[in-house]
Amino acid sequence: MQKPISITAIASISSIGKSTSETWESYQNNQHYITSEKFLDKDVWVSKLSEDTKQDIELLKQSDNKYKSLDNTVLYAIYASRKAIKDANWKPSDNFGINIGSSRGATSLFETYHESFLKNNKAETLSSPTTTLGNISSWVAHDLQTQGPEISHSITCSTALHSMLNGIAWINSGMCDKFLVGGSEAPLTPFTIAQMQALKIYSKEKEPFPCKALDLEKTKNTMILGEGASMACLESGIQNNTLAIIKGYGYATEILKHNISISSDAQCFQKSMTMALDTMNPGEVDVIVMHAPGTVKGDSSEIKAIEAVFKENIPAVTSNKWKLGHTFGASGALSIELAVLMLQNQKFIDIPYLKNQKIPKKIENIMVNAVGFGGNAVSILLSKA
Dihedral over Cα of 341, 296, 184, 236: its sign: positive
Task: Name the pLDDT band for 65 (thresholds 50, 70, 90).
Answer: very high
CB 77 within 8 A of CB 140: yes
Q: How many CB atoms lie within 10 A of CB 35?
A: 13
> Hey, where are the domains in the chain?
5-236, 247-384
The CATH number of domain 247-384, selected from 3.40.47.10, 4.10.93.10, 2.40.160.20, 3.90.1150.10: 3.40.47.10
Question: For residue 267, is pLDDT > 70?
Answer: yes
Say if residue 42's pLDDT is above 90.
yes
Q: Which of 341, 331, 332, 334 is nearest to 363 (CA)?
A: 341
pLDDT digits (tens, 9 = 90+) for 211-253: 999 999 999 999 999 999 999 999 999 999 999 999 999 999 9
Name the packing angle between helices 72-88 and 51-62 (round to 10°): 90
CATH architecture for segment(s) 5-236: 3-Layer(aba) Sandwich (3.40)
Q: Is the pLDDT of residue 45 over 90?
A: yes
CA distances from 278 to 165, 232, 271, 362, 363 (A): 16, 23, 11, 21, 19
- pLDDT at position 259, please? 56
pLDDT of residue 261: 65
Top pLDDT among 264 and 353 is at 353
The confidence band for 263, taking pLDDT boundaries of 50, 70 and 90, is confident
pLDDT for 258 equals: 61
Q: Residue 32 and residue 20: Cα distance in Å, rounded?
A: 17
> What's the average model confidence in pLDDT over 200-206?
95
Smallest CA-to-CA distance from 103 within 151, 166, 157, 139 is with 157
Checking if the pLDDT of 295 tops 70, the result is yes
- What is the per-residue pLDDT for 3? 81
Q: Which of 291, 287, 295 is nearest to 347 (CA)?
A: 287
Given this chain, do its domains 5-236 and 247-384 carry the same CATH topology? Answer: yes
Q: Is the pLDDT of residue 347 over 70?
A: yes
Average pLDDT over residues 100-126: 96
Whole-number pLDDT of residue 255: 79
Measure Cα distances from 231 to 37, 76, 264, 307, 366 in Å.
27, 10, 31, 30, 18
**Mean pLDDT rounded to a whole number for the chain:** 96
* Nearest CA-CA partner of 369 in 127, 134, 162: 162
97-101, strands of its sheet edge to edge: 150-151, 97-101, 178-185, 228-236, 5-13, 244-253, 376-384, 365-370, 287-289, 316-318
Cα–Cα distance measured from residue 72 to residue 49, given in angstroms and rounded to the nearest whole number? 11
Q: What is the pLDDT of residues 164-182, one digit of tens each?
A: 999 999 999 999 999 999 9
For residues 242 and 340, what is the distance between their CA atoms, to the nearest angstrom? 11
The C-alpha angle 221, 291, 279, rounded to 5 degrees, equals: 145
- In this prediction, residue 375 carries a pLDDT of 86
